[in-house]
């Protein structure tokens, strides 16, 4: 027993048991990722509590530096078409142009500074005709397709339902990510900078994908449609010109030709958005929301 106790004993500022191995640092980091308490982890590994966070950032740097963990979106048109085919297999109404689903995830952090960094998607990111499915946090664009607001029936309601069949993939993915990594279910430590938290969350996504790809026992399956309830919310941040109250642009009696011209240009632009082309597909084929599912 004395030998065991002596082996576990550590002195502040010294390493009587030798340097901390990479395996031990990986073990500490994974336990913390999973939601472990830093003091429990330190006691279990017989190290000073400061070594826990040091191990976390060592692993974060190592994973981000390793190309095998990279998460990439295919830029080749053929690869994007393969992704579109995979999403089409999940769609019961024949949406064949969706190549990805996008969503946001809340990470509990301390209030950042006033400096804001943004990420954008520029021209050429997707080939013409291919789109990403998003929820009401986004707006409809030439590459983004979102559900309609406050719809109680008709083709737009049917569109929202079939759109959710594709969007739910990313929602389930984030749900599994947060369920696996308990550190995402509580506030990040006070001394973690926002930029470093970005690196940390990226590593959690990379390791999550690694576990799925290399663990032969991991089996992913979506729930049956009847067991999934997604509350409907809108996606358009503004009404189309057709849906706007008439008084917004002259109440229909404005003699100003510039206003009438602006209306025509707006209608032409809106009709070119992928969301309305997909809505036309719903209307043409006569698809309807299943009567047993009224909440998606």
| Model pLDDT for residues 8-48, shown as the tens digit of each residue | 444 444 455 678 999 999 999 999 999 999 999 999 999 99
Pairwise pLDDT comparison (261 vs 5), residue with the higher score: 261
Q: Give the residue-averaged pLDDT of 182-199.
A: 91
| Beta carbons of 61 and 95 less than 8 angstroms apart | no
Q: What is the dihedral of CA 285, 291, 294, 296, to 10 degrees?
A: -50
Can you tell me the distance from the alpha carbon of 257 to that of 244, in angstroms, rounded to the nearest whole number?
19
Contacts of 197 (CB under 8 A, 6+ apart): 107, 109, 188
pLDDT for residue 234 is more than 60? no
Q: Give the residue-averaged pLDDT of 177-189.
A: 93
Can you tell me the distance from the alpha carbon of 283 to that of 286, in angstroms, rounded to the nearest whole number?
5
pLDDT for residue 222 is more than 90? no
Pairwise pLDDT comparison (294 vs 75), residue with the higher score: 75
pLDDT for residue 127 is more than 70? no
Q: Which residues pair with 144 in a beta bridge?
A: 132
**pTM score, two decimals?**
0.66
Confidence of residue 223 (pLDDT cuts 50, 70, 90): very low
Q: Of all helices (H) and strands (E), which one includes residue 132?
A: strand 131-133
| Beta carbons of 279 and 156 less than 8 angstroms apart | yes
Q: What are phi and psi of 131, to 5 degrees?
A: -140, 170
pLDDT for residue 119 is more than 60? no
* Average pLDDT of the chain to the nearest whole number: 76
Q: Give the residue-averaged pLDDT of 41-70.
A: 94
């Amino acid at each position: 027993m004395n030998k065991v106790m002596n082996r576990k004993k550590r002195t502040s500022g010294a390493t009587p048991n030798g340097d901390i191995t990479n395996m031990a640092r990986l073990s500490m980091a994974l336990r913390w990722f999973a939601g472990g308490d830093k003091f429990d982890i330190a006691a279990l590994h017989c190290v000073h509590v400061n070594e826990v966070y040091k191990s976390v950032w060592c692993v974060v740097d190592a994973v981000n530096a390793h190309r095998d963990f990279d998460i990439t979106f295919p830029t080749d048109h053929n690869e994007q078409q393969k992704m579109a085919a995979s999403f089409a297999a999940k769609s019961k109404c024949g949406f064949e142009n969706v190549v990805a689903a996008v969503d946001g995830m809340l990470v509990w952090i301390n209030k950042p500074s006033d400096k804001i960094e943004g990420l954008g998607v520029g021209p050429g990111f997707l080939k013409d005709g291919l789109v990403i499915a998003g929820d009401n946090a986004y707006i409809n664009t030439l590459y983004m397709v979102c559900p309609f607001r406050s719809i109680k029936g008709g083709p737009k309601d049917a569109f929202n339902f079939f759109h959710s069949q594709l969007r739910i993939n990313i929602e389930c993915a984030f749900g599994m990510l947060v369920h696996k990594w308990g550190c995402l279910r509580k506030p990040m430590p006070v001394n973690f900078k926002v930029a470093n938290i970005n690196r940390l969350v990226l590593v959690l996504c990379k390791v999550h994908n690694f576990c799925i790809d290399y663990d032969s026992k991991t089996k992913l399956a979506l729930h049956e449609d009847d067991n999934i309830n997604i509350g409907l919310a809108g996606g358009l941040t503004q009404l189309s010109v057709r849906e706007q109250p008439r008084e917004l642009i002259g109440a229909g009696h404005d003699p100003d030709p510039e206003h009438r011209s602006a209306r025509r240009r707006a209608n032409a632009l809106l009709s070119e958005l992928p969301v309305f082309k997909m809505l036309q597909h719903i209307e043409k084929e006569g698809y309807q929301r299943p009567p047993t599912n009224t909440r998606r």
